[in-house]
Structure 1
Amino acid sequence: MAPPDDRQRVLIVEDEPNIASFARMYLEAAGFVVTVATRGDDGLRLAEAEPPHLVILDLMLPGMDGYEVTKRLRQSGHTPIIMLTARDDAVDKVVGLELGADDYITKPFNPRELVARVRAVLRRAEARPARAGRPEASTIEAGPLRIEVGGREVFVDGEGVQLTPKEFDLLVTLIENRGLVLTREQLLERVWGFTFLGDSRTIDVHVRQLRRKLGDACPIQTVWGTGYKVPAKR
């Protein structure tokens, strides 16, 4: 019997054969086990049957578009997702991030950049449990806000609030640094990982989502030209 393959598995959901083949070739050369689906519904079935370590997901797909696939995946777990978009369209990127995608990349892309982003997102996903398990910060309370760090749960006045993995990590980072202004670059480094290749608009999108979901329970202040902060405890 062959020994189990402990390499990380990547699922590519892309209906353009040349792009899928190109990405698969470089990822396999980098040591990943790669599966390809050409329809959104097929990709979702594969991800549910054998959850991959990461999904690379096109937006425009037959059967089920990338937005719907992302929503379905986020309902059942936190598998990292990198979205592909054919246009350098800010709306596509923002919607993808708001749905819970971990990163995005615009086609046509540099395959080495794709591999770098895959590795960065996976490193961040692997580091998350270690951060969450710190005994000295198992619970954080700030007014009506309670954060159960180990369980990655957030409550406002006792009511649970659903956050994406990135929203949760961003919230904890801001709360742990109450009273300090954190630049967008610092937040990208601390929450997304130092090799993250995105732009600072990612931070703005996630802050907007936190404000919408938490309201006055967590007053995140904009420091114009610099970044964000949560006021110090009073």
Structure 2
Amino acid sequence: MDTRILLIEDDPDICDLVAIYLRNEGMRVDVAMHAEQALELFQQSVYHLVVSDIMLPGMDGMQLVQQIRSRSDLPVIFLTSKKEPQDIIAGLRIGGDDYVTKPFEPEVLVARVLAGLRRYRTTIASEQSGSDDVWKDGWLTIHKKRYEVLVDNQPVKLPAKELQLLLMLLERPSQVFSVSQIYERIWGLDGISDERTVMVHIHNLRKKIEKDPANPTYIRTVRGFGYTFGGQ
């Protein structure tokens, strides 16, 4: 099956550059110059990953990704010149899986796209296996193979990266994972670590599954080392 990428960018030169590199990897790339055009394309075709600028004419990339997130959990990578910490945090909180700032090396963007696709396909393949393995206590229920999470018996929708993060920690509840280990396993980039990305996803996950996110009992911080799953 063809891998199809939706690229949203209003700079024609950047569009051409990114499209060339992705097409060299055998991917099909559809280009939209603004968010409204992107939504039209999104409704017409099936995509496997989205690369989007934030500063777009009309609707901005943040609003666009919120609309995409209401319909799909496919990976989203922001590609933007907005590089302040608050911009990165905002992008990840509203549903971005990764964040690449301009200027950028095309090879790095390609590596992040490939990593995002690998993780997404692994998630889909596991989901389709149909087997079930449940972890639960009185508050939280996790169907490991069905990729379903319930909090106080109510289903909670988690973006792909948050779900992968939860399952990774749950897989070895006694192990403490460093930020670099989490980033390598969830984002698939060996030797590259982004502490802010991990921290934002941990923060978002805690808000959704913890009784008291300020005093977490499931996703615990081991100061100076990393994070571990501490439930039950």
Normalised to the residue count of structure 1, the TM-score between the two structures is 0.89
Match of 1:3 in 2: none
Match of 1:209 in 2: 204
Instruction: Tell me the amino acid that sits aligned with residue 226 of structure 1.
Output: F
Cα distance, 1:86 vs. partner? 0.6
Say whether residues 1:34 and 2:33 are aligned partners: no
1:182 maps to amino acid: F
- Stretch of structure 1 that moved more, 45-54 or 192-201: 192-201
1:87/1:106 contact within 8 Å kept: yes
Structure 2 segments unaligned to the other structure (5+ residues): none
Which secondary structure does the structure 1 equivalent of 2:204 belong to? helix
- Superposition deviation, residue 180 in structure 1: 2.2
Deviations 1:117-137 (A, max 9, x none): 111111111111334466775
- Counterpart residue type for residue 163 of structure 1: L
Q: Does 1:231 align with 2:230?
A: yes
- The match for 1:126 is 121
Kindly tell me: are residues 204 and 7 of structure 1, through their superposed partners in 2, closer, same or farther at Cα, counting changes over 3 Å? same
| Mapped contact 1:117–1:196 kept (Cα < 8 A) | no
Question: Displacement of 1:222 after TM fit?
Answer: 1.0
Normalised to the residue count of structure 2, the TM-score between the two structures is 0.90
Task: Give deviations 1:125-175, integer Å, cap 9, x for gaps.
Answer: 111133446677522213311012333221112112221111111112222
1:179 alignment partner, one of 160, 168, 174: 174
* Alpha-carbon distance between aligned partners in 1 of 2:39 and 2:74, rounded to the nearest angstrom: 12
**CA distances 1:41-98 after superposition (whole Å, capped 9, x unpaired):** 1111111210211111000111311111111111111121110121322112111111
| Distance (Å, rounded) in 1 between the aligned partners of 2:71 and 2:42 | 10
* Deviation, structure 1 residue 194: 4.3
Counting matched residue pairs gives 228
Question: C-alpha separation between the residues in 2 aligned to 1:55 and 1:118?
Answer: 9
Separation in 2, partners of 1:195, 1:8: 23
Matches within 5 A, 1:85-124: 85-124=80-119
- Report Cα offsets for 1:95-127 as digits up to 9, x if no partner: 111122121111111111111111111111111
> What's the % identity of the aligned pairs?
38
- 2:227 aligns to what SS in structure 1? strand
Query: Which residue in the other structure is 2:219 paired with?
Result: 220
Return closer, same or farther for 1:137/1:189 CA change in 2, 3 Å cut-off: farther
Taking a change above 3 Å as real, the CA distance of residues 89 and 225 of structure 1, as seen in their structure-2 partners, is same
User: Counterpart in 1 of 2:41?
Assistant: 46
2:155 partner letter: G
Structure 1 equivalent of residue 145 of structure 2 = 150
Among 156, 163, 166, which residue is 1:161 paired with?
156
Mapped to 1, the partners of 2:92 and 2:205 lie a distance apart of: 13
Q: How does 1:44-83 map to 2 (within 5 A)?
A: 44-83=39-78
Deviation string, structure 1 residues 157-202 (Cα, Å, up to 9, x no partner): 2112221111111112222222321111222233222448451221
* Unpaired segments ≥5 residues, structure 1: 1-5
